[in-house]
Structure 1
């Protein structure tokens, strides 16, 4: 009873303590699991720039916008590298937005209302205004369309107008900032003269060389002192601009076996027999093909297989092609029809949305009514402006010239199958289209194809066997030497070195993002927790190195610098050989060291390439600092050690136009200075990049 009274009287304290402990345990547990402080683990924060949080809700649409641009540019095909590029593009835009705006504010850079008005409507408007509101036929700015856009009260138009004006402001501020940076750069007459001389002064010399390859690597024993000396002299070379990680991995192939290939061949032969007698070719192809090709007229080159194109476009309608093994797949094709068709078409267009018209029948009747009005001389542009829901309505319904494959099939067929001047109504997934064919350009052969493609792939049995082997390895390798155990199992060990957190590629891996994410959540030496699926293999990996931002320690770069350290030690040995030959003439030195005298003509300081050898900066630099006629001390270059004699120099004529020389240098310096200024802003900012948690 006494215990119950004690608990009842202190229940409030106990409850508060319990809740507090649970919260702390949850946060600390999360910190332990993630390996990062719990206060930075906000699940919505992609990163911070000088304390400004970047939310995934704001960041993802910008990534999607970049991805859509890549889809349009590369035909809808994306890979991990493109995704990584899109994420980087969005991230860099965020950095620029925060850092440059802070810099604009610090410098007092603004765009006044008068400036903005002039950029929107003045005599010399922003390039964006010219881009979006110029008449495609004349190239001249369409001020009527521009003013209608700026004055529109439509919510969507207002949003687009605000976005456009903000982007114009940003471009103007960036131009002011760039001009400010560029105008702070100058070139003295001495600098201009040096640059001119370095590019035009000629040197003629002879040299004797001993290559590093003349000493076998196995005969050189490197010491810790050798590594340390090279590292201390070249520390600046080991500055890591961002954290990277390295991992080893082994692969388990899921490529099709001979039995798999035979099974697919048997399957495609059965499909071919059924395809020959099918009653509905387009449906049969859609059901049986791994690759979907639209059942519409295609121009030559659209299939992406040159040999297939050449074969199909030489066949008459009714022909059957295949089964033919091409690349990694079998192809079966029925040529349904061939004809000659325009290469591209120019049309006007009004789109009626049934949902906005009230119902399907009313939309169809409205489309027919508009067609009747236009055929009797009605103003197409005015009708498009008043009735169309398409983005082209403000341009009078005019669409840019397009070729086959750019529009939905119903729209495309109407535009390409008619003739110039035709007025048509067609229905598509978007609604009812009133189309007027303005112009048809060119003519070439097109074909309507029923297309089947079957990819050679591994069977489920083959995939299961590979996955089981990978799973066994993952379970058995834990606690063992990863590399040694892989060797015992007869597996080839591959290395992915210095992988950045947001990188979209890794050596030998075609889909590494999940693997890289897990590598950044692991500790050095950890075997990563999953079996990672690539296109034709399963992968098991182990994190081997964590390379932090900043100057890397010697241990982290020791393997990388070994060839350079080896050459440094060899250089000392070869220098001793040259010194042992005495201070005789170049011919006598060549005779004693077993080399030859090589003449070189017309070398300039700014292009230190020795013909037939390589770029040798140290050698050419030494040549331009030497006195003619004297045998030089040995010079250690990139390929070997050199001794030389300068025959003479040919000085260029005096600079004819100092102003032009300076102007040329200023142009190059101005471009580099803008990039350097932005990099300086990044270097001095506090940036936390959490993108690896999201992508």
Structure 2
């Protein structure tokens, strides 16, 4: 690869996270047309403003980029829809109030620069962010069809537009929300004040008779009706599922190990053309390592070296330190592969090299730069002239590069390309590689490369260290067809045993198959919660989340039915639909797991208070409840953690809210009932810097609260039609 192509490629890697999966799910108008929508290009309306499939896809792509591809598709879609709703509402309000929302002014480009962070340096000239350079790099990415770079530019521009609208609209509201001096003093006093207390703590969990407390469905229903907003929910599903990971068996691994062992020494194998067994020189004895690796390995042959500090199997490195050339290590298993490694070279080289260069290109060179007008002969003459200048005065290299290099990245960095690993250098053009590897620190020379003439300066080479070159024969550790078929058949048997059965029978059958059932309750179709399908996400089977969700919300899927899902990663998941929960308030059964602990603690608290009776001092309270009088020093109002108990806000409230020496009445805390006596309250010394820091924190907190509150208020007032919810087949 040429140096220019490599650096240009790496510059995009600075912009986009390495290995990030781009959009895994987009929606086409053809797909939506199957749902008989009034407009197949719509996914929703917000106060009458239509939201198109294109807008939604762009938002999904941006949300995926921001999450670096780590979230399941349904979470990404949910985030994208919420982003669209918030941005649209803010824009509508801004337009109504006459607030500027243009995306091509100084505020917008300042925001772009701010979002870029350190990466903005790539678009600066003379230390100033250059809009034209940003736009030219975006155009170049589009010309090259660099999808990752294009997505990055779109994300930055979209986020900048959102930020400008948010800052202008929400910022106007925030002007009326500020922290008064009195508020600051109150918060500051609380943050630096501590209280020393004595208390009696009666835990709910260990109170005699706690396990006998039973909560009825009627009690739970009453609580739900008292807190309707908390328990109002979308149409949801209750599920159970089993994950069947298909992994190589011990038999599979033994067969692979035997095959790799065979390759170490000379062996015979059948010629596919003649059907005759023929001799083959093994890895240890072959003189053509590259061909052997190409024929028998799933990995590529490389001239690269491995150093002690590299992420490479340490057992192989330890072997290499004492081995002689052509010795073979293995077979050994590392990660998801099994390998044999032949030591073919030990070299003393610098593993890191800092390089600068000046590119003088010409018309017809391998890279087409629109600003280049020189012929090849003129470029050579110019390069010779510049070489003479920097040879005489090496300190001028940066200045010359800034004025004369045809490559943007090096020109903007005064010629410096940064640090290259030894193996990175091996991937460059032969001319570049030859010069860098065979010259020392301070060397300056001229080479001709495909993209033009390069003046190369070696700024620094780190001290040489030993690097090892291996010929590796690598094979993935994979399950055999026999193993895969076995798990496939098991998934079908499990699904068949679940079908039409009640929950108790499903639990029993799962036990007989020796598999673990995982519950997924209150699953909403589009409102993804962090607790949804945690075990699937953690086990690398996120793909099943989309499949199971579509199946569970399909009108044809009946309760108490099961389905086996085949994943592209080779694994299987069996899902069982327990219940379909209609839209509205939860019933007692559905809310029990959340409400029962609350009501049990309240019931136990009444028993504890009755047990305390008329006790007026801590010793009497302790005697009545079988507890001890304990001391807690330096209780802080803003962080009310009681040692051995946890966070208890109510205790801090009593400690600071009652007179010194007063014994409180029994109060219900988070973990138990408390009776508290305040011994003393102490204010720490005043510190102006701490006070200013707190003021800034309060300002940030208020800003966040305004953003959240305004967003929720606009949503409540708005007419928002989410057509995804109206069409359960949306993800089909």
- Shorter-chain TM-score bucket reads 0.7 to 0.9
Write the distance in 2 (CA, Å) between the matches of 1:272 and 1:290: 16
Contact 2:499 2:562 survives alignment (8 Å): no
Which residues in structure 2 correspond to 1:368-383 (within 5 Å)?
A: 370-371=379-380, 373-377=382-386
Which residue does the alignment assign to 2:179?
Answer: 187
Q: Could you tell me which of 483, 494, 502 is aligned with 2:518?
A: 494
Q: Could you tell me which of 628, 639, 648 is aligned with 1:616?
A: 648
Deviation at 1:684, TM superposition (A): 4.2
Which residue does the alignment assign to 1:421?
Answer: 444
TM-score by length of 2: 0.71
Q: Could you tell me which of 314, 320, 324 is aligned with 2:328?
A: 320
Relative to structure 1, the CA distance from residue 47 to residue 227 in structure 2 (aligned partners, 3 Å threshold; closer, same or farther) is same
Which residue does the alignment assign to 1:542?
Answer: 576
Asked if 1:516 is matched to 2:549, the reply is yes
Q: Could you tell me which of 283, 286, 306 is aligned with 1:275?
A: 283
Relative to structure 1, the CA distance from residue 398 to residue 458 in structure 2 (aligned partners, 3 Å threshold; closer, same or farther) is same
SS of aligned partner of 1:690: helix
Which residue does the alignment assign to 1:209?
Answer: 201
Q: Could you tell me which of 502, 505, 526 is aligned with 1:484?
A: 505
Q: Deviations over 1:358-392 (max 9, x none)?
A: 9xxxxxx977984565235489888864xxxx765
Contact 1:238 1:552 survives alignment (8 Å): yes
SS of aligned partner of 1:453: strand
Deviation at 1:303, TM superposition (A): 3.8
Write the distance in 2 (CA, Å) between the matches of 1:125 and 1:458: 49
Deviation at 1:622, TM superposition (A): 3.3
Q: Which moved more, 1:652-661 or 1:608-617?
A: 652-661
Asked if 1:198 is matched to 2:185, the reply is no
Contact 2:112 2:157 survives alignment (8 Å): no
Q: Could you tell me which of 628, 643, 657 is aligned with 1:625?
A: 657
The answer for unaligned runs of 5 or more in structure 2 is 1-30, 266-281, 369-373, 388-399
Q: Which moved more, 1:46-55 or 1:486-495?
A: 46-55
Write the distance in 1 (CA, Å) between the matches of 2:123 and 2:458: 15
Deviation at 1:322, TM superposition (A): 2.0
Relative to structure 1, the CA distance from residue 281 to residue 90 in structure 2 (aligned partners, 3 Å threshold; closer, same or farther) is farther
SS of aligned partner of 1:321: strand
Deviation at 1:87, TM superposition (A): 5.3
Which residue does the alignment assign to 1:401?
Answer: 418
Q: Deviations over 1:59-102 (max 9, x none)?
A: 5466556767877xxxxxx65x3766765665555445433322
SS of aligned partner of 1:401: strand
Relative to structure 1, the CA distance from residue 305 to residue 648 in structure 2 (aligned partners, 3 Å threshold; closer, same or farther) is same
Asked if 1:458 is matched to 2:479, the reply is yes
Write the distance in 1 (CA, Å) between the matches of 2:116 and 2:246: 53
Relative to structure 1, the CA distance from residue 534 to residue 645 in structure 2 (aligned partners, 3 Å threshold; closer, same or farther) is farther
Which residue does the alignment assign to 1:10?
Answer: none
Deviation at 1:615, TM superposition (A): 0.8
Relative to structure 1, the CA distance from residue 120 to residue 533 in structure 2 (aligned partners, 3 Å threshold; closer, same or farther) is closer
Q: Deviations over 1:490-530 (max 9, x none)?
A: 34321234556565972222223333343343557263544
Deviation at 1:656, TM superposition (A): 7.6
Q: Deviations over 1:120-161 (max 9, x none)?
A: 79xx996579977758999722779859969x999969x99x
Which residue does the alignment assign to 1:688?
Answer: 722
Contact 1:600 1:610 survives alignment (8 Å): yes
Contact 1:623 1:646 survives alignment (8 Å): yes
Relative to structure 1, the CA distance from residue 585 to residue 90 in structure 2 (aligned partners, 3 Å threshold; closer, same or farther) is closer
TM-score by length of 1: 0.74
Which residue does the alignment assign to 1:586?
Answer: 618
SS of aligned partner of 2:205: helix
SS of aligned partner of 2:105: helix
Which residue does the alignment assign to 2:705?
Answer: 672
Relative to structure 1, the CA distance from residue 142 to residue 587 in structure 2 (aligned partners, 3 Å threshold; closer, same or farther) is closer
Asked if 1:635 is matched to 2:646, the reply is no
Q: Which moved more, 1:626-635 or 1:47-56?
A: 47-56
Write the distance in 2 (CA, Å) between the matches of 1:48 and 1:528: 36
Deviation at 1:216, TM superposition (A): 5.8
Relative to structure 1, the CA distance from residue 372 to residue 133 in structure 2 (aligned partners, 3 Å threshold; closer, same or farther) is farther
Asked if 1:507 is matched to 2:534, the reply is yes
Write the distance in 1 (CA, Å) between the matches of 2:79 and 2:32: 28
Asked if 1:575 is matched to 2:609, the reply is yes
Deviation at 1:40, TM superposition (A): 3.8
Write the distance in 2 (CA, Å) between the matches of 1:325 and 1:129: 42
Asked if 1:449 is matched to 2:439, the reply is no
Relative to structure 1, the CA distance from residue 606 to residue 392 in structure 2 (aligned partners, 3 Å threshold; closer, same or farther) is closer
Contact 1:495 1:507 survives alignment (8 Å): no
SS of aligned partner of 1:638: coil
Which residue does the alignment assign to 1:255?
Answer: 247
Contact 1:303 1:309 survives alignment (8 Å): no
Asked if 1:468 is matched to 2:489, the reply is yes
Q: Could you tell me which of 400, 403, 410 is aligned with 2:428?
A: 410
Which residues in structure 2 correspond to 1:165-244 (within 5 Å)?
A: 172-214=164-206, 215=208, 218-232=211-225, 234-235=227-228, 237-238=230-231
Write the distance in 2 (CA, Å) between the matches of 1:147 and 1:540: 50
Contact 2:237 2:523 survives alignment (8 Å): yes
Aligned length: 633
Deviation at 1:289, TM superposition (A): 3.9
Contact 1:145 1:395 survives alignment (8 Å): no
Contact 1:186 1:666 survives alignment (8 Å): yes
Relative to structure 1, the CA distance from residue 538 to residue 154 in structure 2 (aligned partners, 3 Å threshold; closer, same or farther) is closer
Write the distance in 2 (CA, Å) between the matches of 1:154 and 1:494: 46
Write the distance in 2 (CA, Å) between the matches of 1:540 and 1:326: 30
Q: Could you tell me which of 513, 538, 563 is aligned with 2:597?
A: 563
Deviation at 1:462, TM superposition (A): 1.0
SS of aligned partner of 2:611: helix
SS of aligned partner of 2:128: coil
Q: Deviations over 1:259-318 (max 9, x none)?
A: 222212212212333322344323433454445575534555554545555655776764
SS of aligned partner of 2:534: coil
Q: Which moved more, 1:449-458 or 1:525-534?
A: 525-534
Relative to structure 1, the CA distance from residue 183 to residue 344 in structure 2 (aligned partners, 3 Å threshold; closer, same or farther) is farther
Contact 2:200 2:676 survives alignment (8 Å): yes
Which residue does the alignment assign to 1:438?
Answer: 457
Q: Which moved more, 1:374-383 or 1:52-61?
A: 374-383
